[in-house]
Amino acid sequence: FVVLVLTFISSTRLQQTTRGASLMIQLNKILVPTDFSDFGKPAITYACAIAARFDAELHLLNVVPDQAMLVPEVAAFSPESMQAQSESLVREAQRQLADLPDDGWENEKAIVRQVRTGPAAIEIVEYAKAENIDLIVIGTHGRSGLMHVLMGSVAERIVRNSPCPVLTVKPEGHQFVKV
């Protein structure tokens, strides 16, 4: 039986004590994938609070779906029109990312904003690996039952494949960061 005691040290480090051994948790880069939905807003709030506490760099990432994967009959559309649509979606995502976080960003470090194209879970995990992310904070849609089976869960796939810890934030219920 190991007793864990968590104490905040100098407001930027978390010390974990396990029967005499002391470990420091360092969070230098925090990733928040967002789809710009209301479900993702609490995750951004949490990530900002954690980044401020650990003086970490905040990464905001949006993944635009690959247009070829969304169109049932790809041959019905020209590659040029699909490329133009994809570029339009990327520009819109960049515009929306520029407005995040809404307010309350206390950290002096710059925010890294990126847009990628492809399957969301794969792109998020690959980004986390490439950028040596220390923590992913992601909102969940809270689907269950048949909707979960039909729609799947990007957050679940990220948790399963992530190279780092993942904090999932539900849009409702107990919140330890005040929105």
DSSP string covering the chain: ---EEEEEETTTEEEEEETTEEEEE---EEEEE--SSGGGHHHHHHHHHHHHHHTPEEEEEEEEPPHHHH-S-GGGS-HHHHHHHHHHHHHHHHHHHHT-S-S-----SPEEEEEEES-HHHHHHHHHHHTT-SEEEEE-----HHHHHHH--HHHHHHHH-SS-EEEE-SSS--SS--
- What integer pLDDT is reported at residue 86 of this predicted model? 84
What tokens were used for 136?
A: 């992913």
- What integer pLDDT is reported at residue 152 of this predicted model? 58
pLDDT band at residue 70, thresholds of 50, 70 and 90?
low
Report whether pLDDT(64) > 90: yes
- Identify which has the larger pLDDT, 66 or 122: 122
Mean local confidence (pLDDT), 110-130: 95
- What integer pLDDT is reported at residue 84 of this predicted model? 81
Report whether pLDDT(151) > 60: no
Report whether pLDDT(113) > 90: yes
What tokens were used for 5?
A: 């005691």
C-alpha to C-alpha distance for 115 and 129, rounded to whole angstroms:
16
Q: What is the pTM of this model?
A: 0.78
Report whether pLDDT(125) > 70: yes
- Identify which has the larger pLDDT, 87 or 162: 162
**Cβ contact 136:158 at 8 Å:** yes
Report whether pLDDT(9) > 90: no
